Structure 1
Amino acid sequence: MSLGALTDPIAVSLIGGGLVTALLHAVLPTHWLPFVLVARAQGWSATRLSIVTAMAALAHIASTALVGLLIVGAGLALETWVEGLAPRVAAVFLAGFGLFYLLRAVRQPAFAGAAAALNDAPEPSRDRAAALGLIALLAISPGEVLLPLYLTAADQGMGVIAALTGALALGTLAGMLGLVLIARAGAEAFRLERWARYERAILGFALLGLALFVALRGH
């Protein structure tokens, strides 16, 4: 990789723009809200939430980079196909999460108190499935807004494309981790114990609502 290529003004602006775009892209609801909601329902610590979020962010950029490289080779036709498919797949995943927690809410005994609901430790298999589901949600949904950057970088060489991918990963990681931890801290600042018995139902409806939003508007 040539250092001169990376210091070229076009390459510098492309990499810097990619970093800023990735940070802004992380603000989209599907990139942080499901993580905060599921983490609360599963009783995850801040460390576990951060690990799952980081893995999902890296999987998201890995799939984006893969599709981006394919677009460089195949042209705009693949980008148009991904843009139409990705939001629908994301919506299906979110709806599945929502229905899962609604079913758990229905199965929860009516006499269970708030403290019992908060201390209800999830089964390891379900906890692992929730983490893998969140990672898969972003892994199978490349960032459409990031893909054109690969077309722009196509004539800059593989070194610039690799640096661009690194910038996208850094921006996505910083944005997603910052948002989920801020949201988690904000949720803990409120006294939510009295709502604990309804938490799964609220979570289910919230995820279904987010799935509808993604299906109608895109993620």
Structure 2
Amino acid sequence: MIEIITGSLIISLLHAVVPNHWLPVLAISRKERWSLSETLNITLISGVAHILSTILIGVLLSLIGAELNENMEQFTKVVAPAVLVLLGFYFVRQHYQQHHYGGKQQQLFGKPKRKIVLALVIAMLLSPCMEIEAYFLLAGTQGWWVMASIAILYAAITLTGMLLWVRLAYKGSLKLNWHKWEHNAGIITGITLIVTGVISFFTH
């Protein structure tokens, strides 16, 4: 259980830092000359859409995990940890491939604000955080309070992180190599999933 919460915390923190969700909003904001308050409000709206779709999928996976745990003796011991390890290797592999964020933002420049916001919300709604979903699956074997803890932790950290980074970047207080951050986050995510899976295997 501790490893599930810890792994979820690490993934949530990484997710809040990696700019592939909030940087496009900032880029459009600068192009469209939005104020800081407008930019933060739109970041909030799109962030909530992203969190809702992630948690909705997570709850469904928790239900599946709980059902499998009741009817499949080896699920908690073997299958769930194996899923984490396999996903971990997938993200490590992705680390060595090229990443791009905000690829479609150019298409939104010059559009009416309402259409831009709608497009951002839909894009965020349709791009849930798949890295955290494996933890929801495993949480289903531990009880509803573990699932709820992951959901609250993920939502709070992700939304706070998005708003914080947008605010700092908007004011020019944040000057980092975001591509490097995004690229390296992949391998950290992968290693976190692998370690969690291995620990889960040996502690259940």
Q: TM-score range by the shorter chain?
A: 0.5 to 0.7
Distance in 1 (CA, whole Å) between partners of 2:138 and 2:174 is: 43
- AA aligned to 1:99 is Q
Selected match of 1:39 from 29, 36, 42 = 29
Aligned residue for 1:137? 123
Q: Give the 3-state SS of the residue equivalent to 1:19 in structure 2.
A: helix
Aligned residue for 1:55? 45
Instruction: Show the 5 A alignment for 1:199-214.
Output: none
Instruction: Show the 5 A alignment for 1:14-33.
Output: 14-33=4-23
5+ residue gaps in structure 1?
Answer: 1-9, 84-90, 105-122, 190-209
Selected match of 1:97 from 105, 108, 114 = 105
> CA-to-partner distance for each residue in 1:71-105, whole Å, 9 max, x for gaps?
3445789xx8xx9xxxxxxx9x944431343xx5x
Distance in 1 (CA, whole Å) between partners of 2:8 and 2:58 is: 13
5+ residue gaps in structure 2?
Answer: 66-79, 91-98, 187-204
- AA aligned to 1:38 is I
Distance in 1 (CA, whole Å) between partners of 2:131 and 2:52 is: 15
Identity %: 31
Identify the structure with the greater helix proportion: 1
Please state if 1:170 is matched with 2:160: no
- Per-residue deviation at 1:142? 0.8
> CA-to-partner distance for each residue in 1:2-58, whole Å, 9 max, x for gaps?
xxxxxxxx25x5345423421211222322210111111222111111111112222
Larger Rg, first or second structure (1 or 2): 1
- Per-residue deviation at 1:173? 0.8
- Per-residue deviation at 1:188? 11
Please state if 1:148 is matched with 2:134: yes
CA 1:138/1:37 → structure 2, altered by over 3 Å: closer, same or farther? Answer: same
Selected match of 1:158 from 128, 136, 144 = 144
> CA-to-partner distance for each residue in 1:96-133, whole Å, 9 max, x for gaps?
431343xx5xxxxxxxxxxxxxxxxxx7xx11111222
Selected match of 1:64 from 36, 43, 54 = 54
Distance in 1 (CA, whole Å) between partners of 2:64 and 2:144 is: 16
Contact preservation (8 Å) 2:108, 2:116:
no
**Aligned residues: CA RMSD:** 3.7
Number of aligned positions between the proteins: 153
> CA-to-partner distance for each residue in 1:109-168, whole Å, 9 max, x for gaps?
xxxxxxxxxxxxxx7xx1111122222221110101111110121112222212211110
- AA aligned to 1:164 is I
Contact preservation (8 Å) 1:53, 1:135:
no
